[in-house]
Chains A and B, each alone.
Chain A
Amino acid sequence: MGDFFVLALSAGTPFILASLGEIFSQKSGVLNIGIEGMMLIGALAGFSVAHHSGSPWIGLVGGVIAGSLAGLIHGFLSITLMAPQVISGMALTIFGFGITSFLGKPFLGLPATSFETSILGVTPPVIIALALIPLSVFILTKTRFGIHIRAVGEYPEAADSAGVNVSLIRYLCVLIGGGMAGLSGAYLSLAYSPMWREGMTAGRGWIALSLVFFSMRKPIFALLGAIFFGALWILQFKLQGLGFGVSPYLLMMIPYASTILVLSLLSSERIRGRIGVPEALGKPYLR
């Protein structure tokens, strides 16, 4: 059972990282459905930086930077140019897939420069992901930055009148979202399944996105959800080996189906007010 938990945690780590980042972005009012694309970009960048530098740690940093840059495109389009966020995010997904397939060709089949240490049976990035949970909670609830994020996502006019720079906060959050998605991708290509493969995120970005809604944008719930979805991810391979007749594909519907269920159950105005839905989500702000 302990082994299974470790497996689930390792499989759930990409979800933790990417959805934490998206929580920041959405809380500030920017919907970025391009997680899958940013993760791929992070995965390839992480892999190649580690390959050239010889250090998986520098690789992780490379993944974060590349992911942030990808996020920056979305930020520029959706914050400065006030583009429709769904369209821009979708473009990011398509572009991320294309550019990584294109640039990743030389790295196909190479071994990753991976982590050699493991702590309590997991690779270091897993520990980082776990540490980022309380850090995110702290930033979102206790710091001025966090208060500003929530204000900007919920009522930008109020934040603006109080002297908060709405665009700046949103840019920072989109960068955080991109950086975390990049880190998530780099974890995949450097630690979880150390190699580069075209489209290697295999839909994890979409699961991370659904996790953000599933967890009502609360980091703690995102952690629990990520372990749950991670367990499903592991089970899809295990169950068949154990002779159970459940298809892995049916199993992987659960994250999406449960997200729709949660959203439907939480749809009343009253509940929305309580859990702090960023009412300005997806809406550009122009004074």
Chain B
Amino acid sequence: MKRFVFERRLSTTQEGYLRVTVLSILFSIFLFGVFLLLGGSNPILAYLKILRSAFGSLRGISHTTLRMIPLVFTALAFALPYRAGVWNIGAEGQMYMGAFLATGVALSIQGMPDSLIVPAIIFSGFLAGAIWGAISGILRGLLKVDEIVTTLMMNYIAILWVSYLVTGPWREKGGWGYSHSSLIPKERWIPFITGTEIPVTIVLGVLFAFIIALLLKRSRLGYEIRVVGANPKTAELAGMSSLKTILLVMLVAGGLAGIAGAGEIAGVQHRLRMGFSPGYGFTGIVIAFLSRGNPLVIIPVSFLFAGMIVGGNTLQIVMKLPSGIVEIFQGMTLFCLAGGQFFLEYRMKRRKRWEIFSSSP
């Protein structure tokens, strides 16, 4: 018989969210520090190194911003459906599909005015991702098939599809046996922001974050999304269509992840490669979860996470640490955040023995 029981907190507040989130992150920083210490490195030095390499120079910030772009999009791709009660863990696959169609358009389109080609590339990324996301949306909305499973499985179908293309029909002829497509012609690259080496997709990403924030908060559609997410039965009573809402959020979410793919290929890597993403789609989930689905919070958090990736990679090289530390830190952060959620919703209470089975009448 338990001496301690947990009861649901009556109220969760903004300050509560913030406190639990910050404490969770601090705890994971501490845990990771202990880990580094055990591995024979000085954690304080390591953290300084991360900060300096990611944010300490213009070059570092530029790298970090570059990494941030796909993260903003994939985090939004999780956050938007999440607000409607739908778990889209398929951003990785939606991103690959976006990259696929964007590459196809970039490599093959003919007879289009130059000024329209880049928008067409980005839109095709959106389109392919949206279709990929919508499949899971339809299955969930119509047949009640768990979207967690379908979005997860469709990640791998998409990744395999791209692998097939770059090892088969799209493989660069005369390449040195590498699995990638031909280079996208330079005039079709997504242009950089003047004076930097950062493609303009970053602007698009930030813009979308604001648009989605506005949509959720201030539009009738966003209101419907929030009601469906908070209580589907109430939504039905108010005459809202869950199917329509679920389909819509999955379309948009898939499309956003698709833009991440288009942006990564046409803006950064410039050719479709096998496994071109180091799991941006999954890191996006971490970010969105950390931001509690708030699109505006996603922007700074993506920047921090991008910095962590850049800094982690540097750390690996400079301190001669084996690879994997970025993932270790990400995993630890996520563990702490997932666990920390509990203290937000429940409070531990010591009870008298007999109270344990008591409940309301």
Contacts and interface: CB of A to CB of B under 8 A. Distances in A.
Interface of A: 31, 33, 37, 73, 76-77, 81-84, 86-88, 90-105, 198, 203, 206, 209-210, 213, 247, 249-250, 252-253, 256-257, 259-260, 263-264, 267, 282, 286
Interface of B: 6, 39, 87, 89, 139, 143-146, 148-150, 152-154, 156-157, 160-161, 163-164, 167-168, 279, 282, 285-286, 289, 321-332, 334-335, 337-339, 341-342, 345-346
Given A83-B339, A87-B337, A94 B282 contact: yes
Nearest to B7: A286
B331 A91 contact: yes
A94 B338 contact: no
A246 to B, nearest CB: 10
Chain B CB count within 10 A is highest, among A90, A93, A99, for A90
Contacts of B163: 249
Contact of A82 (B323, B337, B342): B342
A199 B168 CA distance: 24
A249 B334 CA distance: 31
A253 B323 contact: no
Contact of A256 (B143, B144, B157): B157
Contacts of A252: 160
A76 B339 CA distance: 9
A103 B164 CA distance: 32
Nearest to B279: A94
> Closest 6 A-B residue pairs measured CB to CB?
A95-B331, A98-B327, A101-B324, A91-B334, A98-B328, A83-B338
B149 A286 contact: no
Given A98-B328, A267-B143, A91 B338 contact: yes
Contacts of B325: 98, 102
A99 B322 CA distance: 10
A87 B328 contact: no
B164 A249 contact: yes
Contacts of A77: 335, 338-339
B237 to A, nearest CB: 22
Chain A CB count within 10 A is highest, among B39, B160, B338, for B338
A82 B347 CA distance: 13
B161 A249 contact: yes
A33 B90 CA distance: 13
Contacts of B323: 101-102, 105, 198
Chain A CB count within 10 A is highest, among B150, B156, B157, B335, for B335
Given A82-B346, A247-B164, A87 B289 contact: yes
Given A81-B339, A94-B331, A97-B327, A259 B153 contact: yes
15 contacts: A84-B289, A87-B334, A91-B286, A91-B338, A102-B321, A102-B322, A104-B322, A105-B323, A210-B153, A247-B168, A249-B168, A253-B156, A253-B161, A264-B143, A267-B139
